[in-house]
Amino acid sequence: MRIVFIGAAGSGKSTLAAQVFGALKQAGRSAEHIHEFVRHDIHAHGTMTSIWEQYRTRQFQKELEDAVPDVADYIICDSGTLTPYFYAVLYSDPENPRQRLVLQDMYKYLLDDLYLRRYDLVFYLPLFGNIQVNDGTRYQTEQELDVLDQHMRLVFTKLHRLSNVHLVNSGFEQRLEKVMWKILGADKLTALAPSDTLIFPELTG
């Protein structure tokens, strides 16, 4: 099962992906954790502010994920191949015909990844609470992050409401339990607590 966590920078997707990976390992499941390529690339080469860099980001992220052997029961992906499209839109110049072509390609990739079920489960995390920017990885302004979040919310909760896409709209303290319930279901999260002590409200979606 391939699972991806998506959201704007600062949404907590990397933290939640790491928590889910740890919980699965604790439960004795075979799991792999694929970190987002963009984080390493920003640390090594600086910020990305062009549509072309987002095209490159998607390709390298895809290669990282596709290189994982199929023997793992769970493959946890941070950001995945779905996210670069939204940053490409943010940094594109729609009046440039070449950039419009790239946007068309990236939107096609997004739709293919969604409807061909590249990911068995997609968890979208909206922005929640105060966001720390300029931390060495996040470099967007608060306004840009808000635009990204609104665009993702539109796509994943309005335009393309698929059964495997879930909105994680709870507070940070409840996110792990709710997501693990969706992943493990009847296993009752034995890695986290006895089954009769947990309450699992349904996620939206």
- Is residue 191 classed exposed, middle or buried when 0-12, 13-18 and 19+ CB atoms within 10 A define those classes? middle
In a domain, 170, yes or no: no
Residue 202 counted as domain residue: no
Report whether pLDDT(148) > 70: yes
> Which residue is listed with tokens 């594109």?
92
Indicate the pairing of strand 74-78 with strand 121-124: unpaired
172 domain residue, yes or no = no
C-alpha separations of 16 from 67, 140, 196 in Å: 22, 21, 24
Flag the least confident range among 47-61, 70-84, 150-164, 181-195: 181-195
* In-domain check, residue 135: yes
Residue 203 lies in a domain: no
Distance CA 155, CA 68 (A): 28
Distances (CA, A) of 107 to 73, 100, 102, 158, 199: 29, 10, 9, 16, 38
Q: Is the pLDDT of residue 204 over 80?
A: no
In a domain, 157, yes or no: yes
In total, how many domains does the chain have?
1
**CATH number of the domain where residue 53 is located:** 3.40.50.300
Determine the length of the chain: 205
In which domain, by residue range, is 20 found? 2-164
pLDDT for residue 113 is more than 50: yes
The answer to the question of residue 10 being in a domain is yes
pLDDT of residue 79: 92
Q: Does some domain include residue 180?
A: no
pLDDT tens, residue by residue, 150-162:
999 999 999 999 9
pLDDT band, residue 69 (cuts 50/70/90): confident
